[in-house]
Chains A and B, each alone.
Chain A
Amino acid sequence: MSRRPLLRGASLLRAPTWPTSVPRPPVERTTGVDYETAWARRYGVRLARALVLDGLTRPVLRAVASPTVDGLDRLEGVRGPVVFAANHASHVDTPLLLASLPDRFRHRAAVGAGADYFFDRRWKGAVWAFLINAIPIERLRPSPRSMRLASSLLDDGWSLVIFPEGGRSPDGWGQEHHPGPAYLSVKSGAPVVPVHIEGTSRILGKGARRLRPGSTTVTFGAPLRAEAGEDARAFAVRIEAAIAALADEQATDWWTARRRAAAGSTPPLTGPDAVAWRRAWARPSRRRQVGHTRWPNL
């Protein structure tokens, strides 16, 4: 007696098996660096993103991160597309940096985001592409596709926000810099603006499970361009030094930072070469307080 299926057509609920004699067509990847983000730069989406950024993100950040923005005067006169290169310690960095940008950059900036982290699912890619205009960047190895996309955006007048460390710092100190921003700047001619973000690791450091409201400082440096004959690797070193000088400027003052930069004694972003507890011990714990005179001044 032959077996009859309990329900006719029940096998249709499962995907059919592929006959081994038929060659499979190549699978079209739609995640990771292959995620297509062009839709996120259409006018309607940009308008919706601007509403979210200005109407929701910025007020929330003001409440949670109390940002102080320094050095915007250094961007006076800078009009064209720019590569913003910042240190990275927290998920708060990206919205904070976007919210701190002058109007002419804020609504025309794309953010380089790790393809393996932010674009590993299509829904995640869609969320980040919408919220922060993220574009997928391959951070484990050089990816021509990532670089092509980033270059074409710069050519189209979009500014880029890139974290050259490639990921969030595990302990608040900086990590080794990749030469991505320098490479893009050399290739496109757009200047690199070094940015130092301070305080976000205390609000939502890597591994933290909840927000701890605090104060932050975003410091913009003067735009940098590769000098004649300077390749991307050498330029990247200069960009890292500029971010380190901005960090020093925040920790001390501008004049001290300039003198140390000139003498080549700027403290490195990566912190002391020591065991974990000493690195944690050496980390600045709170923002400096200068320029506020208590009254009465006794």
Chain B
Amino acid sequence: MPRPGFVLDVDRSTPPTLFWHGEGYRLEQLPPDRSRVVYPPESLPGVKDPDAAIRHALLNPLGDSAPLPSLLRPGMRLTICFDDVSLPLPPMKQPDIRQRVIEAVLDMAAAAGVDDVVLVAALALHRRMTDAELRHALGDRVFDAFAPHGLLTQHDAEDPDNLLFIGETDQGEEVEINRRAAESDLIVYVNINLVAMDGGHKSVATGLASYRSLRHHHNVRTMRHSRSFMDQHRSELHSSNWRMGKLLRDSGVKVFQIETTVNNNTFPEQFDFLAKREWEWTGKDRALFLASSKSLALTPPRVARSIMHGMRAPYDLTSVQAGEVEAVHKVTTENVYRQHLVPVSGQTDVLTMGLPYISPYNVNSVMNPVLVMCLGLGYFFNLYRGRPLVREGGVLIMSHPTPWEFNPVHHPSYIDFFDEVLADTTDPVEIEKRYEERYATDPWYIHLYRTSNAYHGVHPFYMWYWGAHALQHLGGVIVVGGDPRAVRRLGFKAASTLRDALEMASDVVGTREPTITHLHTPPLLMADVS
């Protein structure tokens, strides 16, 4: 029986706590009697027969949807959309869930005599996936069957011929999505719901949308009104997507939603200790920690990055549900919470976190400083329901090397954003007002997004907005072990050690002995803060 999440009050007998630090990790001693560590729940058991579970979900849909086979008929247009390379993290070992689900859907389509089938990677404004990444996600069989015939496509949010304007919501939000999907008789959307934010109406309304449509919810106002964007009932990001989803449904776009959840089995067996509580480390765990952390520290960063990005998560499928979007997402969210939710009592002055080597936007790539900000202040800070783990005016301390380094193929506009925009201001409102449109419509960034493997020109802005709520909430951000120049450019403070960072934080929060919460993640958790 897996144990639920746990909040440890640090005392003098508590062993040092694991902090991720980019491509490596360290042990840090947290001050006793005023620190606590939030540990994620242990991994839930996976379903015994994933293929049978998927088939059962397709045949027994939720909500008012009919079983998938009865929605399929000869002569129809079927579009199967799936989450891109940003999910799951780290990429899971094969067979990927998308492969399993899409093969099951295609089996039913073949039995029904459906010929016109197109697969679409729902990129939104993310970079195009490489052939190897598509092959990993979909498996050889699907890739070899569809890619050579041009039937495996990637959504292009800048292709005017392949976008269809659907209309406006009652709040004036324009909805424009992939034309092939919109004009299909049925869209089957295959999700991997790694965190509570994923899925629901956001799948189609964001994954298949254009910039014209996305800008209505990917903005500073929405993010500041999402408390947090991981809690869909208090997230303006989700409210906007839900309005768009309902407009799509009312316009006749038929979506058969498939959502899947995975457990917390994030690391291969030899890295099991990363998910364990430190006082339960065996001699083997300690030896592995010592050997891996020391050798990673001695390894050139490029090699260490390639080692870590080669890691494949042995995730197990914990649930799969299919059918009508909202009914499906309700059950999915419960299943995500079942794995992630940890009750936590009250807020502290300081929140500490170790940031790992990967975020949704640097799979097989460099975690540049903008993405460091997004992972810390965007994703990890928002892993709460109720209230943030840190009080208003508190300090966030993150541990990451934050190198001044960018992948010019994947993140070309990030380089200019970092050099030009952040050198001018770090205020999200100012940035949005003065710079966003120019970057979003820059023809060179659009060209790279459409033909290379580059994120859209506006993407770094969204990363910055992702942290807008945290920036507004916090009194200061300190990066431990980061490149001081890069950290200062982000508008944060750099510290050499955690002890220095805590001393700096005490100046901001106004007490010599601030209370501290450490977020012990990954594996992922979501704090239910009362």
Binding site for B on A (CB under 8 A): 70-71, 73, 76-77, 222, 249, 253-256, 258-259, 261-263, 290-291, 293
Residues of the A chain whose Cβ atoms lie less than 8 Å from the Cβ of B141:
70-71, 249, 253-254
Residues of B within 8 A of A254 (CB): 141-142, 144-145
Quick check: A255 and B139 within 8 Å, CB to CB? no
Which residue of chain B has its CB nearest to the CB of A77? B49
Residue contact A258 to B110, C-beta cutoff 8 Å: yes
Give, as a whole number of angstroms, the nearest-CB distance from A103 to chain B: 15
Q: Which chain A residue has the least Cβ–Cβ distance from B94? A: A73
Q: How many A-B residue pairs have CB under 8 A?
A: 51
Chain B residues with Cβ under 8 A from A263's Cβ?
113
Give the docked Cα–Cα distance between A253 and B141 (Å): 7
State the CA gap A259–B148 with chains docked (Å): 17
Does B28 touch A at the CB level, under 8 Å?
no
10 residue pairs, one from A and one from B, having the closest CB atoms: A255-B145, A254-B141, A253-B145, A258-B110, A73-B95, A262-B110, A262-B111, A259-B110, A254-B145, A291-B144
A136, chain B: closest CB distance, angstroms: 36
30 A-B contact pairs sorted by A residue (CB < 8 Å): A70-B141, A71-B141, A73-B94, A73-B95, A73-B139, A222-B51, A253-B141, A253-B146, A254-B141, A255-B106, A255-B110, A255-B117, A255-B142, A255-B145, A255-B146, A258-B107, A258-B110, A259-B110, A259-B113, A259-B115, A262-B111, A262-B112, A262-B113, A263-B113, A290-B144, A290-B148, A291-B131, A291-B135, A291-B147, A293-B131
Separation of A76 and B316 alpha carbons in the complex (Å): 12
Bound-complex Cα distance A218 to B298 (A): 42
Give 18 A-B pairs besides A73-B99, A253-B146, A259-B110 with Cβ atoms closer than 8 angstroms.
Answer: A70-B141, A73-B95, A73-B139, A76-B95, A77-B49, A77-B50, A222-B51, A253-B141, A253-B144, A254-B142, A255-B106, A256-B145, A258-B106, A262-B107, A262-B113, A263-B113, A290-B148, A291-B147
Chain A residues whose C-beta falls within 8 Å of the C-beta of B117 in the assembled complex: 255
Which residues in A have their C-beta under 8 angstroms from that of B106?
255, 258
Residues of A within 8 A of B131 (CB): 291, 293
Residues of B within 8 A of A256 (CB): 145
B51 surroundings in chain A (CB, below 8 A): 222
Q: B143 at interface (Cβ–Cβ under 8 A)?
A: yes
A291 touching B49 by the CB < 8 A rule?
no
Q: How far is the CB of B151 from chain A (nearest CB, A)?
A: 8
CA distance A255 to B116 in the complex (A): 11
A65 to B67, CA, bound (A): 45
A70 touching B140 in the complex, CB below 8 Å, given contacts A76-B95, A293-B131: yes
**CA of A272 to CA of B131 in the docked complex: distance in angstroms?**
37
State the CA gap A258–B104 with chains docked (Å). 11
Residues of B within 8 A of A262 (CB): 107, 110-113
By a CB distance below 8 angstroms, the chain B residues around A76 are 95
For A293, give the chain B residue with the smallest CB separation.
B131
CB contacts (< 8 Å) of B144 on chain A: these are 253-254, 290-291
Secondary structure at the B interface, as helix, strand, loop or mixed, is: helix
Contact with A along B50-72 (1 / 0, CB 8 A): 11000000000000000000000
Please tell me if the beta carbons of B148 and A291 are within 8 angstroms of each other in the complex.
yes
Q: How far is the CA of A291 from the CA of B142 in the complex (A)?
A: 11
Q: How far is the CB of B514 from chain A (nearest CB, A)?
A: 49
Name B's A-contacting residues (CB within 8 A): 49-51, 94-95, 99, 106-107, 110-113, 115, 117, 131, 135, 139-148
Q: How far is the CA of A291 from the CA of B94 in the complex (A)?
A: 18
Residue numbers in A under 8 Å from B148 (CB-CB):
253, 290-291
- Chain B min CB distance to A158 (Å): 23
B139 cross-chain contacts in A, Cβ below 8 A = 73
Q: How far is the CA of A290 from the CA of B111 in the complex (A)?
A: 24
Complex: A261 Cα to B110 Cα, angstroms: 8
Tell me the complex Cα distance, A220–B401, Å.
45
| Interfacial chain B residues near A249, Cβ < 8 Å | 141
Cα of A73 to Cα of B145 in the assembled complex, Å = 17
B70 to chain A, nearest CB (A): 16
Question: What's the least CB distance linking B311 to chain A, in Å?
Answer: 19
Tell me whether A291 and B143 are in contact (CB under 8 A). Answer: yes
**Most chain B beta carbons < 10 A, residue from A71, A253, A255:** A255
Return B493 CB to nearest CB of chain A, in Å.
47
- The smallest C-beta distance from B451 to any residue of chain A, in angstroms, reads 12
The distance in angstroms between the C-alpha atoms of A222 and B309, with both chains bound, is 30
Which of chain B's residues have a CB closer than 8 A to the CB of A290?
144, 148
Shortest Cβ distance from A287 into chain B, in angstroms?
A: 12
CA gap between A256 and B151 in the complex, in Å:
13
Chain B residues with CB below 8 A from A291, complex form: 131, 135, 140, 143-144, 147-148
- Beta-carbon nearest neighbor of B99 in chain A: A73
Q: Which B residues are in CB contact (< 8 Å) with A73?
A: 94-95, 99, 139
A262 to B110 alpha-carbon distance, docked (Å)? 6
CA distance A256 to B144 in the complex (A): 11
A70 surroundings in chain B (CB, below 8 A): 140-141
Distance of A34 Cα from B51 Cα, bound (Å): 42
Instruction: Kindly state the separation between the CA atoms of A259 and B142 in the bound complex, as whole angstroms.
Output: 13
CA distance A76 to B93 in the complex (A): 11
Closest residue of B by beta carbon distance from A68: B140
For the complex formed, measure the closest distance between the CB of B149 and the CB atoms of chain A, giving whole angstroms. Answer: 8
Residues in A whose Cβ lies below 8 Å from that of B147: 291
Q: Which residue of B lies closest to A255 (CB)?
A: B145
The residues of A that contact B110 with a CB separation of less than 8 Å are: 255, 258-259, 261-262
A255 cross-chain contacts in B, Cβ below 8 A: 106, 110, 117, 142, 145-146
Taking the closest CB of chain B, its distance from the CB of A54, in whole angstroms, is 22
B314 vs chain A, min Cβ distance (A): 11
C-alpha gap A281/B46 in the complex (Å) = 50
Cα A255 to Cα B117 in complex, Å, equals: 10
Q: In whole angstroms, how far apart are the Cα atoms of A258 and B110 in the complex?
A: 6
Which residues of A sit under 8 angstroms from B99, Cβ to Cβ? 73
CA of A186 to CA of B131, assembled, Å: 42
Instruction: Report Cα–Cα, A249/B95, bound state, in Å.
Output: 18
Residues of A within 8 Å of B95, CB to CB, are: 73, 76
- Which chain A residues border B107 with CB–CB below 8 Å? 258, 262
| Contact residues in B for A293 (Cβ distance below 8 Å) | 131
Q: How far is the CA of A76 from the CA of B51 in the complex (A)?
A: 10
Give the distance to chain B from A283, nearest Cβ to Cβ, in Å: 22
Q: How far is the CB of A172 from chain B (nearest CB, A)?
A: 23
**Bound complex: CA A254 to CA B143 (Å):** 9
A270 to B140, CA, bound (A): 27
Q: Give, as a whole number of angstroms, the nearest-CB distance from B136 to chain A.
A: 11
What CA separation (Å) do A71 and B142 show in the bound complex? 12
Query: In the docked arrangement, what's the CA distance between A70 and B230, Å?
Result: 39
**B513 shortest CB reach to chain A, Å:** 52
Q: Give the distance in Å from the alpha carbon of A261 to the alpha carbon of B49 in the complex.
A: 24
Which residue of the partner chain A has the closest CB to B131?
A293
